[in-house]
Amino acid sequence: DTQTNPGVAKGLTQKAADDNVFAIFGPVFSGSIMVSMAESQRAEIPNFTGGEAASITAQGNPYVFRTSFGQSTSFPKVARYIKEQLKAQTVDVIYINNDFGKGGRDEFLKAAQALGLKIGADVSTDQNQLDFSAAVLKAKQSSGDVLFAYTNEEESARLLRELRKQGYAKPVVGDTTIINQKTIELAGEAANGVVGHVALTADA
């Protein structure tokens, strides 16, 4: 258990290397794998991760294997869905200010702008943030047609509850985390109607 803490993840990866393991699975949190993968590379141990930050594999570490689509693969699909299926002209963005969120925000903006989508509100939030009222208010006051939300599971649930509380009525689109089972359980009915991109089918 890395406790979603990059320092703990690095220490556990060092311990795994000292134990001469054959392979390492995880961590899945982008900020943690960014720190710990140097240790698995130093020990020449294959390291599998579900982390999606584009910068993970962009570093060229030959021992890191991503088990899911990276942001640079997923987000053009998300942006195209928003443009073509939802007929949006302007997109508001609420993202979490960590390696995962910043990387995702940057990739999404690049993909959206390539399709001619305008960016309205561009709102940074913090990890472990409890109050999303100001972030939601900025999105409500924006002229955006759709909200792209990209935060971790617990923060996604809090964001969704606040969106419903403030009567936000525009489409909400995200990636895997916003429709993760943990997010749905924590958000309850506030998760109804939210759309997210998942690289694999539920059957897979």
Quote the pLDDT of residue 201: 62
pLDDT: which is higher, 176 or 125: 125
153-198 residue pLDDT tens: 999 999 999 999 999 999 999 998 899 999 999 999 999 999 998 8
pLDDT at 59 over 90: no
**Mean pLDDT for all residues in the chain:** 92
Burial 23-36 (b: 16+ CB within 10 A, else e): ebebbbbbbbbbbb
State how far the Cα of 17 lies from the Cα of 39, in Å rounded to an integer: 8
Pairing of β 146-150 and β 118-125: unpaired
CA gap 170, 190 in Å, rounded: 13
Confidence (pLDDT) at 23: 97
Full-model pTM: 0.76
Q: Please write down the long-range contacts of 185-188, taking CB distance under 8 Å and 24 or more positions apart.
A: 185/157, 186/153, 186/154, 186/157, 186/158, 187/156, 187/157, 187/160, 187/161, 188/161
Q: Confidence class of residue 87 from pLDDT cuts 50, 70 and 90?
A: very high
Q: What sections of the chain are H helices per DSSP?
A: 6-18, 30-42, 54-58, 71-80, 99-114, 133-141, 153-165, 181-187
pLDDT of residue 15: 96
Span 25-55, pLDDT tens digits: 999 888 899 999 999 999 999 999 988 777 8
pLDDT at residue number 4: 83
pLDDT at 113 over 60: yes
